[in-house]
C-alpha cells in the first residue's frame, strides 16, 4: 500500500524524467483536507496523453507499458472523497494536483513526507525545488536556492544536508 509521501516521490520523479529544472511542491493543509500540488517546467504532455495517463485501461498498450503512478494516485485520492487534476502543455510543463480527505477511513497514511522531500532535494542538486507548506497556523517556504545560500559552498548532496532539511521540514509538517 502506498502512502502519501510515496505518491509525492512518484509525481516528482515524473517531473525529473520530464527534464524539469524547476519543481514546486505545495502542501496545503486546511481542515481535514490535504491538497498537494506539484508543478514542473518539464516537457509536458498533449491533451490526449493527459487523458491516457489517468486511465491505465484506455490504451491498447502496444508501444509501451503505461505506468501506474498517476492512476494509483487518482484511486487513493478518490477513495477518500478527493480528486486528482492534471494540467499540462507540451514544452511548458505540468501541474498535478491531488486532494485527500485525511480523516476518511480509507485515506492512506501520510508516511515520512519530510524525509521524502529531503531525499528529492539532495538527490537532484541540479533541480531547483520550491517547497511550500500552508496550514491554518501559518505557512512556510523553502527553495533549493535558499538552501544552497545557507550552505555556503557545502554540496547539497552532503549527508548532513539531508538531515538538516528533514529536521527543518519536520517542524512544519
Ligand X SMILES: Nc1ncnc2c1ncn2[C@@H]1O[C@H](COP(=O)(O)OP(=O)(O)O)[C@@H](O)[C@H]1O
Residue numbers of the site for Mg ion (CB under 5 A)? 10, 14, 67, 69
CB of 59 to ligand X, least distance (A): 11
Residue 26 sits in the site that holds ligand X (CB under 6 A):
no
Residue 43 sits in the site that holds ligand X (CB under 6 A):
yes
Query: What's the Cα-to-Cα distance from 120 to each of 61, 65, 67, 163, 164, rounded to whole Å?
Result: 30, 25, 20, 13, 14
CB of 10 to Mg ion, least distance (A): 5
Residue 97 sits in the site that holds ligand X (CB under 6 A):
no
Residue 63 or 136 with smaller CB distance to ligand X: 63
Residue 12 or 161 with smaller CB distance to ligand X: 12
Among 18, 101, 115, 168, binds ligand X (CB under 6 A): 18
Q: Among ligand X, Mg ion, none, what does residue 82 contact (CB within 5–8 Å per kind)? A: none
* DSSP symbol at 75: H
Q: Among ligand X, Mg ion, none, what does residue 173 contact (CB within 5–8 Å per kind)? A: none
* DSSP symbol at 90: T
Nearest residue to Mg ion by CB is 69
Q: What residues make contact with ligand X under the rule CB under 6 A? A: 10, 14-15, 18, 40, 42-45, 53, 67-70, 94
Amino acid at each position: 500500500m502506498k502512502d502519501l509521501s510515496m505518491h509525492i516521490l512518484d509525481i516528482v520523479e515524473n517531473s525529473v524524467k520530464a527534464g524539469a529544472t524547476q519543481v514546486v511542491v505545495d502542501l496545503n493543509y486546511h481542515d481535514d483536507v490535504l491538497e498537494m500540488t506539484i508543478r514542473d517546467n518539464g516537457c509536458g504532455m498533449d491533451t490526449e496523453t493527459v487523458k491516457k495517463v489517468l486511465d491505465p485501461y484506455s490504451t491498447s498498450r502496444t508501444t509501451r507499458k503505461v505506468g501506474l503512478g498517476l492512476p494509483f494516485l487518482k484511486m487513493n485520492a478518490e477513495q477518500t472523497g478527493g480528486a486528482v487534476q492534471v494540467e499540462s502543455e507540451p514544452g511548458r510543463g505540468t501541474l498535478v494536483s491531488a486532494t485527500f480527505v485525511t480523516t476518511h477511513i480509507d485515506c492512506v497514511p501520510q508516511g515520512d513526507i519530510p524525509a521524502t522531500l529531503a531525499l528529492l532535494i539532495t538527490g537532484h542538486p541540479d533541480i531547483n525545488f520550491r517547497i511550500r507548506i500552508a496550514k491554518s497556523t501559518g505557512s512556510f517556504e523553502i527553495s533549493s536556492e535558499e538552501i544552497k545560500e545557507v550552505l555556503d559552498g557545502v554540496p547539497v548532496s552532503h549527508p548532513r544536508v539531508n538531515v538538516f532539511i528533514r529536521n527543518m521540514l519536520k517542524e512544519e509538517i
